[in-house]
A and B are shown apart, each in its own frame.
Chain A
Amino acid sequence: MRTEHDASTAIDTYLQQHETKSLLRFITCGSVDDGKSTLLGRLLYDSKLLFDDQLAALKGDSLRHGTQNGELDFALLVDGLSAEREQGITIDVAYRFFSTERRKFIVADCPGHEQYTRNMATGASTADLAVVLVDARKGLLTQTRRHTYICGLLGIRHVLLAVNKMDLVDYSEDVFHAIEADYRELADSMGIAQVSAVPLSALRGENVSSRSDCIDWYDGPSLLEHLETVQVAHVADDVGFRLPVQWVCRPDQNFRGYAGHVVAGSIAPGDEVVVLPSGARSRVARIVTAAGDLPRAGLGDPVTLTLTDERDISRGDVIAAAAQPPQAADQFAAHLLWMDEAPLLPGRSYGLKIGARTVSAQITEIKHKVDVNTQEALAAKRLELNEVGYCNISLDHAIAFESYAHCREMGAFILIDRQSNNTVAAGTLNFALRRADNIHWQHMDVDRMARARIKGQAPACLWFTGLSGSGKSTVANLVEKRLHALGYHTYMLDGDNVRHGLNRDLGFTDEDRVENIRRVAEVAKLMVDAGLIVLVSFISPFRSERRMARDLFAEGEFSEVFMDTPLAICEQRDAKGLYAKARAGEIRNFTGIDSPYESPEHPEVHLHAAERSAEAMAQQVVEALVGQS
Chain B
Amino acid sequence: MGVSCRLPHMDKSAGHYANGAAPTRIRTDINGSNMTNFDALAHASHLKHLESESIHILREVAAEFRNPVMMYSIGKDSSVLLHLLQKAFYPAPPPIPLLHVDTTWKFREMIAFRDRRAQETGCRLIVHINQDGVAQGIGPFAHGATVHTDVMKTQALKQALDKYKFDAAIGGARRDEEKSRAKERVFSFRNAQHRWDPKSQRPELWNLYNARIAKGESVRVFPLSNWTELDIWLYIYREKIEVPSLYLAAERPVVERDGALIMVDDERMPLRPGEIPQMRKVRFRTLGCYPLTGAIESEADTLPAVIQEMLVARTSERQGRVIDHDPSASMEKKKQEGYF
Contacts and interface: CB of A to CB of B under 8 A. Distances in A.
B55 A302 contact: yes
Nearest to A415: B210
Contacts of A9: 9, 16, 26, 37
A12 B40 contact: yes
A11 B26 contact: no
A354 B226 CA distance: 22
Nearest to B179: A80
B214 A421 contact: yes
Contacts of A408: 206
Nearest to B16: A9
Interface stretch (B70-78, B149-157, B260-268, B308-316): B308-316
B203 A119 contact: yes
Given A8-B302, A18-B234, A118-B203, A82 B52 contact: no
14 contacts: A9-B9, A11-B307, A19-B46, A51-B313, A51-B315, A52-B314, A80-B178, A92-B201, A95-B226, A122-B204, A247-B63, A247-B89, A261-B55, A423-B205
B56 interface: yes
Nearest to B331: A80
Interface in A1-53: 2, 4-21, 23, 51-53
Contacts of B30: 10, 14
Interface string B36-75: 1111111111111101100110011011000000000000
Contacts of B89: 247, 249, 259
Interface stretch (A54-62, A439-447, A502-510): A54-62
Contact of B87 (A8, A97, A290): A290
B213 interface: yes
A161 interface: no
A304 B90 contact: yes
A2 B333 CA distance: 44
A53 B26 contact: no
Interface string B295-326: 00000001111011001011110110000000
B37 to A, nearest CB: 5
Contact of A301 (B52, B60, B332): B52
Contacts of A217: none
B159 interface: no
A21 B237 CA distance: 18
A302 B60 CA distance: 12
Contacts of B332: 80-82
Interface in B1-39: 7-10, 16, 26, 28-30, 33, 35-39
A126 interface: yes
Nearest to A424: B203
Contacts of A590: none
Closest 10 A/B residue pairs (Cβ): A80-B179, A251-B92, A290-B90, A7-B304, A125-B205, A421-B212, A8-B304, A12-B40, A11-B304, A10-B28
A4 B304 contact: yes
A262 to B, nearest CB: 9
A325 B303 CA distance: 47
A37 to B, nearest CB: 12
Given A80-B182, A288-B90, A315-B63, A23 B329 contact: no
Nearest to B42: A16
Interface in A70-95: 77-78, 80-83, 85, 91-95
A5 B234 contact: no
A78 B214 CA distance: 32
B21 to A, nearest CB: 15
A579 interface: no
Interface string A104-130: 101000000000001101100110000
Contacts of A7: 302, 304-305, 308
Contacts of A101: 33
Nearest to B228: A97
Interface in A276-295: 288-291
A13 B40 contact: yes
A412 B178 CA distance: 31
Contacts of B179: 77-78, 80, 94
A412 B302 contact: no
A19 B230 CA distance: 12
Given A95-B226, A249-B91, A304-B90, 9 more contacts: A78-B182, A80-B178, A80-B181, A80-B183, A81-B183, A249-B92, A289-B87, A302-B56, A353-B210
Contacts of B178: 80
B199 interface: yes
Interface residues of A, number: 85
A241 interface: no
B40 A15 contact: yes
A10 B328 contact: no
Interface of A: 2, 4-21, 23, 51-54, 57, 60-61, 64, 77-78, 80-83, 85, 91-97, 101, 104, 106, 118-119, 121-122, 125-126, 246-247, 249-251, 255, 257, 259-261, 288-291, 300-302, 304, 315, 339, 351, 353-354, 356, 408-409, 412-414, 416, 421-423, 426
Contact of B28 (A13, A125, A251): A13
Nearest to A252: B92
Interface in B221-254: 225-226, 228, 230, 234, 237-238
B88 interface: yes
A426 B205 contact: yes
A413 B208 contact: yes
B203 A339 contact: yes
Contacts, number: 240
| B interface residue count range (under 10 / 10 to 19 / 20 to 34 / 35 or more) | 35 or more
B198 interface: yes
B180 interface: yes
Contacts of A125: 205-206
B171 to A, nearest CB: 16
A21 B230 CA distance: 14
A421 B198 CA distance: 17
Contact of A426 (B29, B203, B207): B203
Contacts of B62: 247
Contacts of A64: 328
B176 interface: yes
Nearest to B51: A302
B51 A423 contact: no
Contacts of A290: 86-87, 90-91
Contacts of A92: 183, 198-199, 201
A247 B62 CA distance: 8
B93 interface: yes
B175 interface: yes
A96 B237 CA distance: 24
Contacts of A19: 41, 43-47
A417 to B, nearest CB: 9
Contacts of B116: none
Contacts of B203: 118-119, 121-122, 339, 414, 423, 426
Contacts of B44: 19
A126 B302 contact: no
Given A7-B305, A13-B26, A13-B35, A83 B198 contact: yes
Contact of A81 (B38, B87, B199): B199
A243 to B, nearest CB: 12
B167 to A, nearest CB: 12
A18 B35 CA distance: 11
A251 B94 CA distance: 10
Contacts of B198: 81, 83, 91-92
Nearest to A23: B46
Contacts of B108: none
Given A14-B35, A119-B203, A60 B328 contact: yes
A15 B42 CA distance: 10
Contacts of B47: 19
A393 to B, nearest CB: 16
B257 interface: no
Contacts of A53: 315-316, 318-319
Contacts of A247: 59, 62-63, 89
Contacts of A260: 59
